[in-house]
Amino acid sequence: MSEKFLWGVATSPYQHEGGYNGDGQPRNNWFEWEVSGKVERSGCAVDFWNRYEEDFDRAEMMGLTAYRLGIEWTRLQPDGPGKDLDESALDRYAKMIASLRRRDLEPVVTLQHFTTPRWLGLDPWLEEKTPEIFSAYVRRMLAGLNGRLVSSGVQPPRWFLTVNEPNMLASSTYNLGAFPAGRRVWWAAALCALQTMLESHVLARREVLALYEGHPDWGQPRLSFNTFASDLYWMDKMLFDLLEAARRTSGKESILAYLQEKAREFTRTYRAMDFPRHSLFSEAAGELIKQVQNALSHRFLRETTFSRLVNRIRERPGEGNVDFISFDYYDPFVGNAVRLPTLGELRLGRLSLREWFTQGLATKWWDWHALPRGLRFFVERYAADYPDLPIVIAENGMAERRCGKESQDCQLRADRQSRSYFIRQHVGEVRRLRQEGLPVAGYFHWSMTDNYEWGTYAPRFGIFGVDFDSGHLERNPRDAGGDVPWEAYAAAIAGKD
């Protein structure tokens, strides 16, 4: 397997491809929210489905070595489990992988990026049958995809993220109510969803390994899942530690005690880290949220909470469960996610208490702080606990706020930070970590272009802006006073900036 460093950009199907939830189009679990007007219609997003070649051209121009993209379950299996896969969609994904290989861009493939087929219902991660359904789909899909690639002389993909940000998906769905769900049973539901997603990862990994073992010429696959990096131990690092605890312990040992010790260790190292000072309000809010989460963890976590997952892992006690560590790094400090609302945001009479809190107190994407120093904490922590595993930063980016889909005038962030400066700072931190011998294997900026951000086009994350107003979805290099983000990224990865 190639050991080249993975300098890349990240995308996802629902957010970039377009072509979901319209008439005659595949429908995912966001369909009801789209058609009811609860969120903006995704429409054709940025039409990556038809314009991937030009985006890959830009990646090659920038000197990137990798590209993270998703293969969408909803598009490939729109009619239900056991039904035939959409052959034309499979052909298109094979062409995408081949196109990346021609440009010497390593494909990093996400198998499930938040969305699920509508036929699975609104709460698939609360259902015990979902891991078996998902893993069976993954094996069929990859057998078909790789068969097409090999017949064309193209090397199949070898880097996989099975489930994107299970911690964010569980909390956004069942704690915050920001993603579609059929039930609202809060913390217990979030923990149940986490167990199902991790079990889906374990089963999918086993299926992929078995498939590749039968075809040695395909290479050795590497599989993991990526979390949303957070200083809330019980909704982030705990997930990797849980898999390791299940593997290391027997039925007579306490997994909960293992996790509690890891939580104390995480807290000690976090408090010893020399982070830039946050505001007193943010620090107080963060500490309060951590205390609440610790209390909830003690209230709801039991030895039996993850028993189904633990039993699954103990079927093969000598086998690992991830081949690398992966996390998405934005603003990981929970205290920064809280701010005092403006009067216009309150709307007390129209919102539930939870909606008022999450929409009025919690910040939006464009308020996230830029803290490259925090990358060091998470890389060092994982490297200490999992010294034999490479680390991939699967997403890192910043949003510029726009007024809406039709507004193209860039509004500066409150911190006045440009995207080019953000890129230089974070890539610089990655380079320093590598120079110090830490096992960082990849860095992916979110995203190549602006995209559909889970119900809205307001925040813009693209290295290249997209003109949504023209109807042609042109990609335009952002230029604030001559500071061009793609040039900044290209220079930074080349070590020239």
Mean pLDDT in consecutive groups of 10 residues from the start of the chain, 497 residues: 85 98 98 96 98 98 98 96 94 98 98 98 97 98 98 98 98 92 86 97 98 98 98 97 94 91 96 78 86 87 95 93 98 84 49 54 75 95 98 96 58 82 97 98 98 94 92 89 92 90
Rounded-to-integer distance, Cα 251 and Cα 358, Å: 40
pLDDT of residue 298: 82
- Matching residue, tokens 């696959």: 221
pLDDT of residue 147: 98
Rounded-to-integer distance, Cα 13 and Cα 74, Å: 10
CATH of 6-237+319-493, one of 3.20.20.80, 3.40.50.300, 3.40.1260.10, 2.40.50.100: 3.20.20.80
State CA 19 to chain mean position distance: 21
- Residue 361, burial from CB neighbour count under 10 angstroms (0-12, 13-18, 19+): middle
CA angle in degrees (0–180, nearest 5) for 36-38-39:
110
| Per-residue exposure over 317-348, b if at least 16 CB sit within 10 Å of its own CB, e if not | eeeebbbbbbbbbbbbbbbbbbbeeeeeeeee
Could you give the 3-state DSSP secondary structure of residue 223? strand
Query: In sequence order, which residues have a C-beta less than 8 Å from that of residue 426 and are 6 or more positions away?
Result: 329, 370, 372, 375, 396, 443
Rounded-to-integer distance, Cα 165 and Cα 12, Å: 12
| Residue 234 near residue 263 (C-beta atoms within 8 A) | yes
| Residue 106 near residue 2 (C-beta atoms within 8 A) | yes
Rounded-to-integer distance, Cα 488 and Cα 495, Å: 10
pLDDT of residue 347: 45
Paired strand residues for 442: 6, 392
| Per-residue exposure over 435-468, b if at least 16 CB sit within 10 Å of its own CB, e if not | eeebbbbbbbbbbbbbbbbbbebbbbbbbbbbeb
- pTM, full prediction: 0.95
- Residue 184, burial from CB neighbour count under 10 angstroms (0-12, 13-18, 19+): exposed
Tell me, what amino acid is at 298?
H
pLDDT of residue 284: 87
Domain range summary for the chain, segments of one domain joined by +:
6-237+319-493
